[in-house]
Chains A and B, each alone.
Chain A
């Protein structure tokens, strides 16, 4: 192993007070700059000198980067919105209970008090909850760069382990999570060694049932197994049009297990065990989501 340290290597620091200023700093091709949001992932990396940026750009003093608002059927989070703010938001609890449930599983309150929505997305840890929520809900990221802004669907945002589709010099400024539509059943299930640890595997599920009570549409996203949160298209396809029942969930679980070529492996969970867990959690997660669904209901969730 590389030897770990405990004090960061020296770096320059800037705390821009406008987006334009931040983009100028981040856009300098001659400087290796890192964005500091809440710091709950970056600081451990800095302390251990696993991250050694020349320049740390603290975006915490840019106005209007934190906050939760409702816009066109989605909840829009400023990148600097803390998870504590998400957790205590009545709007989130009402409109996007899946996100609320996932938030409770992110670390501990003492981490959520500083950890941010944007930070989790940009960190793109394969075992983290927020990227999985973004993919499962069909969320999007709004990034701003020197050449203007663009919106990136969550499905395209997560590229591989700890890597996103943000271009050099681009800053993630907003995260959109569509509200859960009325009648949609959901679940967020994970298994970690201790409460608050990164998941060995986890599954986010949303389902819509038609008037006959059969699966109309479902989204199943597995995290902690592949290098990014991954939609289980085969399992989703398998459910479509079928009547919910345990044997179907078991077949869906098998489809989940078949979806991964090279699952992650670490000291807590081998690839084989992770794959097994993904299936178990998918089976349970689908059942839980179905139990929360209201067949045939339409429209926004109020």
Chain B
């Protein structure tokens, strides 16, 4: 609820810009990433992949490869059939095995793998594996895939439609029928994805003695990976240990499950020698976890009296050849914020998940709402333009009023708090909106294509599995735990179950504990445990970890304080309920008598059994596991209280288009946002900056392109255009703070952040710029070629 719950006169760390504890090791090159892990006897894996989008595998001959010097093991689909189950998937039953056995389903699907003395030797051996394929007709267009005469991606399924359902919330038909205006448009969002600078990597060791599997890896969610391994290999989960290395970003799209299974099989076949697999960039780009959101939309909104009364969205989501990447969750998540920041009483979602012979899609930062908001916000602008209402004011008129929170949206989720009008005002004022419109008028008189985008979105924060109930995730609750312990010298250690991947969560833990016990941050160490040792943990994802781990750490500190207070009461010879922790000391509430430091109490527990009160263990340590309270199972229309918090932002973007080349230049970028209490404002700003950059990438540069035959045309970073500093504008930012009433410190999830807003805002600005020409660009990214073509239509 607020930072005031901490037992100190003055907070020195939490809520302030704090230099990160992670930095020193990273800056000196000491942090051990997965490719830096070397185990005795370690082998190196390389993977042979399908060159065909769809093919029958007639035969595989690995004998020449096996005979090469240095080659320790070769595995193929036959081994996968013998040792593994297909991958778990959403929707259920659409997973593939880690190596194709009879059919290849997409270009880059693993066919065979080699473990050898070096990566180069393993790659040499791949060239000695002979595979005979019979190419089959691929299907790459999801609309064709849904038709009756399409080739089938998975023959046994009898269809390519993984899932189809229409959700109706309220009297949508009546709202459209009775509306003064109805607007309808189609949109295309092309595949984009995470592309962290470090790809996926793993070192796997299948111990033939204990029959246990140990996995090191650049893994975002270690506990999920461990359960996945147990399920795939049909072994008890207690026999699997996953230790995630600190890693080079993930953004939801680290992928890697196949690599873990392949490397584990190779280790098993090589007699238990550890096997390292480092995904190379081309493997990542073509067949890794980096592709998300391949979407075809049709949307309608109904408007009466300047208010939006209904929203209807039809989504055909191309998930590629398998549900193994859990890309379907991204189509389910928009239910958590379907109507954005607006009070739209009725809505419909017609959702089809379709298989094609393309790479399976995976999550990406934002997990689905960014394309949804691109569509919703274009529709808001289309309506505002037609009705000649200023787009900012049209949004304001439709905002959920500040006095309506907590507010339940038609698709079931509850928004905790907010003041959207204030955030809009802050953004417009920061951007100098009125002046911008005057400049635009001048520019238009000169024939220049200048446009302003004003966009508002909601970021659901602190995910819960129930958000994905509609595609087969039935659980409610995502626990995150922490153990806080104090040693005999008063040093504090916090044990957690997740690794560093960039958000500064170890710093956050240190800040919170240091303030709670009134010590310097240096006195706190954060230690990562593997999945068999750690308290329940999911790790980063769904804009959750800052809220979840701070709640867990706070709970553990409070629980530990309870134990210490019993000891302090005995030592101070005062009733326990008269004693409190304040500024690092146990004192009497009336401040009479002495004070005992936390360190002294802890040391007494460990070193003086004679002074330990009866029934108290000599254990100055407490574990607390937190899960978001009050989440509800989904009802028969998919409605659930899912995400705990709802941050909100308004972005104002100004662009100018060169009509001759189609090049879009961003002239100004202003942001106002409200993500509640900022626990380390500098890291919050870092998340915002990074997310804006990814949003600009998605809006203008990045795209996974396939040809009609299903061949991927993007295999290097020369073709997947991650923005450099020269493509990212300098932003102006301001913050509004509405503390969350539902989280212990008042913070809201903010890690995914601006990517919810930026693509929509840039596209709105582009379409505003082109409005005088009477054309609309409905496809992202807005590459120069696409923008030029759109403008040319107007000239015809």
Contacts and interface: CB of A to CB of B under 8 A. Distances in A.
Contacts of B48: 3
B715 A1 contact: yes
Contact of A194 (B280, B724, B785): B724
Interface string A182-198: 00000000010111111
A293 B719 CA distance: 37
Interface stretch (A32-40, A215-223, A262-270): A262-270
Contact of A6 (B280, B711, B721): B280
A273 B119 CA distance: 42
Interface in B700-740: 701, 703, 705, 711-716, 718-719, 721, 723-724, 726-727
Interface stretch (A7-15, A18-26, A84-92): A7-15
Interface string B379-420: 000000000000000000000000000000000000000000
B661 A6 contact: no
B430 to A, nearest CB: 28
A7 B119 contact: yes
Contacts of A10: 120, 124
Contacts of B231: none
Contacts of A8: 120
A280 interface: yes
B718 A269 contact: no
A302 to B, nearest CB: 35
B420 to A, nearest CB: 35
A160 interface: no
Nearest to B48: A3
A5 B721 contact: no
B124 A194 contact: no
A192 to B, nearest CB: 10
Contacts of B660: 280
B282 A6 contact: yes
A269 B785 contact: yes
A6 B724 contact: no
Given A4-B282, A4-B715, A48-B282, A9 B124 contact: yes
Nearest to B46: A5
B332 interface: no
Contacts, number: 81
A7 B120 contact: yes
Interface residues of A, number: 30
Contacts of A72: none
B663 interface: yes
Contacts of B663: 191
A197 to B, nearest CB: 7
A191 B661 contact: yes
Contact of A1 (B281, B712, B785): B712
B428 interface: no
B159 interface: no
B788 A273 contact: yes
Interface string A167-211: 000000000000000000000000101111110100000000000
21 contacts: A1-B107, A4-B280, A4-B286, A4-B715, A5-B126, A6-B119, A7-B119, A10-B120, A49-B123, A193-B783, A194-B723, A196-B724, A196-B726, A197-B718, A197-B721, A268-B785, A269-B784, A273-B784, A273-B785, A277-B661, A280-B661
Nearest 8 Cβ contacts at the A-B interface: A6-B280, A7-B120, A4-B282, A195-B726, A267-B705, A5-B123, A280-B660, A273-B785
Given A194-B726, A270-B785, 20 more contacts: A1-B51, A4-B280, A5-B126, A6-B123, A7-B118, A7-B119, A7-B123, A8-B120, A9-B127, A10-B120, A48-B282, A49-B123, A193-B783, A200-B784, A266-B713, A267-B713, A268-B719, A269-B785, A273-B784, A273-B788
Interface of B: 46, 48-49, 51, 107-108, 118-120, 123-124, 126-127, 280-283, 286, 660-661, 663, 701, 703, 705, 711-716, 718-719, 721, 723-724, 726-727, 783-785, 788-789
